[in-house]
Amino acid sequence: MNTLIAATDRWYPLRRSAEAVLAPLVALIGAAVLFSIFLLFLDASPLDFLDLVWRGAFGSSFSLQNTVQRAAPLLLTALCVAIPGQLGLVIIGGEAAVVLGGLAATVAALPLINTSPIVVWAAMAVAGSAMGAFWIGISGWLKAKLNVNETIASLVLAYVGLALFNHFVEGLLRDPASLNKPSTYGIGDDNMLGTVPWFDVHPGLPVGIVACVLCWVLIYRTSVGFACRVTGGNIRAAQLQGLPVTKLILLACAIGGGCAGLAGAIQVAAEYGRANASLNAGFGYTGILIAFLARFNPLAIIPMAILLGGLGAAGGLLQRRMGLPDATIQVLQGLIFVSILASDTLYGRFRWFQPGATT
């Protein structure tokens, strides 16, 4: 019955898209209202806050650069959640893929530092993504082959990965010259990634955007992506149709992990020059938030990552001008996350968005 109506209801696809845009928007506004009340209780002005966030995140070329710099790794770590998410998997161990990817990239670069930078970068990109793909792939394999819950497995493996990272960075690979902050040997200034011509940002941003676009094409415009979405919708139906569910799970986890590992490699090559605790800065956890904000849509990740990067970039200014602690941003992020997830309940609540509602 519903399908019959849907066939004659030409505007239904549009209204469905409107619902998908409106629900998160309502949630963002709700979070903003809650946060304003929070600020008013502290005798701080929400308007000043908004003004400072705008100036600190997007107001000047310097702050804009800071924002996109922060958004770059988040684009890739969000994909680590969103791509497996298409299959209905919740992978929350991207943090380990980032740090191990960065470590593997550094290890791959060290024997090559006297060759050309292009060789070094290629080796780092390949080693970083391969390591990330392998690490998240373990969770996928455990899920597909042994039916181990991927959320818990990836979380536990995140701790194992961090322990391995610390073991190597503070032991075998440690540069004895790094006293206060244990680090590996550096890849050398000549091998650092420069900035993209015309824009004053490192290549992490374009790489992240290209990765998001490619993943969008993969998910929404290829048969493999279609198979992924079918599996995410109903795994039994996918199995009955003879879709290679095991392979799809492994593929999605490997792609997602590869992205997160690449993020680690780029952070090393563009910012730190060596693998150390800077890699363990919560990129993986913020990526989870962004992926859920984007409802696992790779293209929607781009604005969401820039939004979250901007909030992070504004933190310093808020601290200086309003005397708010740096955790303020985290409170706001938490409110946004809670409210976005709660807005999932809005879907299908309103008759107007349903098939045939206007006929």
Interacting residues toward another protein by CB under 8 A: 90, 92, 142, 146-149, 151-153, 155-157, 159-160, 163-164, 166-167, 170-171, 285, 288-289, 292, 325-335, 337-338, 341-342, 344-345, 347-348
Residue 68's φ and ψ, nearest 5 degrees, are -70, -30
Between 31 and 207, whose beta carbon lies closer to another protein?
31
Between 112 and 338, whose beta carbon lies closer to another protein?
338
DSSP character for 323? -
Q: CB of 42: closest distance to another protein in angstroms?
A: 9
Q: CB of 153: closest distance to another protein in angstroms?
A: 6
DSSP character for 105? H
Between 65 and 166, whose beta carbon lies closer to another protein?
166
Residues 6+ apart with CB under 8 A from 171: none
Between 142 and 279, whose beta carbon lies closer to another protein?
142
Q: CB of 195: closest distance to another protein in angstroms?
A: 32
Residue 308's φ and ψ, nearest 5 degrees, are -70, -40
Cα–Cα distance measured from residue 245 to residue 319, given in angstroms and rounded to the nearest whole number: 49
Q: Which amino acid is at 232?
A: G
Between 138 and 252, whose beta carbon lies closer to another protein?
138
Nearest Cα to Cα of residue 305 among 94, 82, 80, 74: 74
Within 10 angstroms of residue 177's Cβ, the number of other Cβ atoms is: 8
Burial of 81 (0-12, 13-18, 19+ CB in 10 A): buried
Between 153 and 205, whose beta carbon lies closer to another protein?
153
Residue 174's φ and ψ, nearest 5 degrees, are -75, 135
Q: CB of 122: closest distance to another protein in angstroms?
A: 30
Q: CB of 78: closest distance to another protein in angstroms?
A: 13
Cα–Cα distance measured from residue 178 to residue 171, given in angstroms and rounded to the nearest whole number: 12
Q: CB of 163: closest distance to another protein in angstroms?
A: 3
